[in-house]
Amino acid sequence: MTLTQCIKEKAYDLGFDLIGIAPASRAPHAEAYRRWLDQNYQAQMQWLARDPHRREDPRRVVTGAQSVVVVGLSYFVLDPPGDLWNDPSRGRIARYAWGLDYHNMMLPRLRELGDFIEQETGKSLNQRAYVDTGPILERDFAAQAGLGFIGKNTLLINPRMGSYLFLGEVLVDMELEYDEPAPEGGASCYIDPPGQSKRLGTCGNCTRCLEICPTHAFPAPYILDSNLCISYLTIELKGAIPIELRPLMGNWIFGCDDCQEICPWVRRYAPRSATRENFLRYDPDWIVPKLVDLMALDEVAFRAWFKGAPIKRTKRRGLLRNVAVALGNWGSPEALPVLEQALKDPEPLIKEHAAWAIEQIS
């Protein structure tokens, strides 16, 4: 068994669903990434624009890097009961946040995989592990490593598992056996020059993900304008949500899965990988919580409710801002008492959105 085969076997033993290896070279769509930044499609996520030369080339991240070991882990679990999921008095949470923070789960395994490579080679390696927090265009390298193709919704789609995938990488300064890129994969998820033909990956003529987006966040296939994306608005945006976008957000309070749920690849194949309930908290009353209950959370209750979960990232002020918008979109007078109480909240962001919700209901 070759070293590369041993690495892949170890990755599967660690619980990863997919693994592939790509050469550590300049990202295939580095220029498209620059054009995406030029349009300010990263919104307030300025770390995406910081030192783009480094983000484009893993050799600037790990000195002497030759290989990018990319892993994928499915986070698909079955849908909650329809009467809860479609209830506008409850908040929707993106599927990836239905449990413990995936960074804390994946990073130790990736570091163990890196240590394994060192042990197998018998020498000290320059290496580094990342789970979507490092300066690397990970979808580019996942496609190069054969894990899937980049779809029109800008997500990596594996033909056997869909797009509900966590991605992680180990950069190492040694040459390994490289996988073939996915057929037709690597379609730009940023911006192609005018007039340039687009590689459609294996999305074919399907545009369901583009059409279903409530805020029209896709100006073109393979291009996402983060300024309009509900996931950005509910998680990354720190200030007030633009008023004109609030009615379009429905009851999404943390992230959004609309462009994944509608994807034929997801609908057909993702249920095969519904095995992650060991770290995803499949409690319908938690993953589709009552909005009025959330709006009443103080700081202590917020920390207790979301202990260890990715939702803590928004902090209480961000989550209750989102909940207030969802309550306004629900439009029921039942929400008025908790919203009126929120007008007394010491956090201005919460008060502002509660006042908007009350106006919507009135």
Catalytic positions, written as ranges: 132
How many Å apart are CA 3 and CA 68, to the nearest integer? 14
How many Å apart are CA 231 and CA 246, to the nearest integer? 13
Report in angstroms the alpha-carbon separations of 174 from 2, 5, 22, 116, 121.
14, 15, 12, 14, 10
How many Å apart are CA 278 and CA 69, to the nearest integer? 25
Instruction: Yes or no: say if 136 and 25 are a contact pair by the CB < 8 Å rule.
Output: no
Structure tokens at 179: 């996988």
Helices (H), the chain: 3-13, 30-38, 52-56, 82-85, 102-121, 138-144, 208-212, 230-231, 258-261, 264-269, 284-287, 291-295, 299-305, 315-330, 336-342, 348-361
Helices (H), 147-232: 208-212, 230-231
How many Å apart are CA 85 and CA 81, to the nearest integer? 6
